[in-house]
Amino acid sequence: DEYFGLQIKGDSMEPAICNNDIVIVHKQEDAESGEIVIASVGQNDATCKRLMKYGETILLRSYNQAYDDIDVTGDENFKIYGKVVESRRKYE
């Protein structure tokens, strides 16, 4: 199995995953509905979101309710890089 780490930038996944947290990601190209993934949509940078599958509809959902869902249904540029398996927070 391959894993990689990323530092989170932003507050879209708060309170579960916060700005500057480190997430450990299992490298894989798909995930189950409800799992947290690192993915990209269109020409945007990678994002950390909860993957939601409803029949033919695929959404990326933030924990922070200030952010709208991202509908990636049928987007040919949508890519999953992996599933978040752990997050780490440093307290200073």
The pTM for the full model equals: 0.92
Q: What is the pLDDT of residue 43?
A: 79
What is the distance between the alpha carbons of residues 40 and 33, in angstroms, rounded to a whole number? 16
Q: What is the pLDDT of residue 44?
A: 78
Residue 13, both tokens: 């996944």
Q: What is the pLDDT of residue 39?
A: 97
Q: What is the pLDDT of residue 75?
A: 86
- Mean pLDDT split into 10-residue runs, the chain, 92 residues: 95 95 97 98 90 96 96 92 95 76
Q: What is the pLDDT of residue 91?
A: 81
Catalytic site residues? 12, 49
Chain position carrying tokens 């695929």? 58
**CA distance to 2, 74, 79, per residue, from 57 (Å):** 28, 8, 15
